[in-house]
Amino acid sequence: MSEERSTRLLILGSGPAGATAAIYGARAALQPVVIQGLQPGGQLTITTEVENWPGDTSVLGPDLMARMEAQMRHLGVELVADVATAVDLRHRPFRVETDGGLVFRAEALVIATGATARWLGLPAEAKLRGRGVSACATCDGFFFRDRHVAVVGGGNSAVEEALFLTNFARQVTLIHRRDRLRADATNQRRLFAHPKIAVIWNAVVTDIEATPDGMGVAALHLADTRTGAFRRLPVDGVFVAIGHDPATGLFRGQLEMDAAGYIVTAPDSTATSVPGVFAAGDVKDRHFRQAVTAAGMGCMAALEAERFLAAQAQEPGREAA
């Protein structure tokens, strides 16, 4: 039989958005509970150096998330090493089941389950992630100053990554499997007009060649999608920009989402289509996907949850949760 528990504020996810929501929720005396998810600490735990977190010239992603976890524990946040497997948002308190057999009843819910980058699925890609292979130009572009980098993809994200990388790289090569881009016309004009950017059409990456010491990228192996011919492209880094998948499957049919599956929130807010449910971080943000913006949304979500619970407690005939 499942163990059932009640909480005023339940947070799903423990990356920068979930951690910040928990910190603010704890300071508001909401006694938040955090279900950490499959990857406690989120995507930053699998990155290397972070140089754009305010207050730190450079910090390792895992170290930054360890500090956030320590701060949550210091404030009395309960961290549950488990994964949410079922959610019922039809009635308050909301019902959340976990893989470990727990059932939570929550008066307010913050969804901070994040999104994951789509990868090429190559064995070398996983080995070299953080060592020349990245899915975030804003995060890692600085490390490739005066280098030759490649971007894989053909949509707006890929074109924007390529354009951003020109601020650092000596040369940027965009690799696309088709003979035309999916990006909008304005982005395409900017891309084709940029002197640092070259495009390789009708090509797929079949392998990523490591440097002799295994600590970096030496080249990409490409196959022509029309002829099957192979070529080797020497590069110092590769940015995979073929999209992200928000972790929103649990909420499909219960919350309003956009066509890509990102949770829709009210303007200048983290409030979702269900009162009392808030979404923060990459699960609702398809544009920026930065640790600092996720943390800011986590703060917003906790403050909005606090106000929501206070308003509920003041309704006539309703006792405080």
Would you please indicate which residues are annotated as catalytic (active-site) residues? 136, 139-140
At 72, list the tokens: 């949550």
In whole angstroms, give the CA distance from residue 152 to residue 221. 12
Contact 44, 64 (CB under 8 A): yes
What is the chain's length? Answer: 321
In whole angstroms, give the CA distance from residue 180 to residue 158. 13
* 72-92 CB burial, b ≥16 within 10 A, e <16: beeeebebbebbbeebebeeb
Among residues 238, 242, 14, which one has the least CA distance to residue 117? 242
84-88/277-279 β-pairing:
unpaired
From residue 175, give the alpha-carbon distance in Å to each of 19, 97, 223, 280, 311: 37, 43, 11, 32, 53
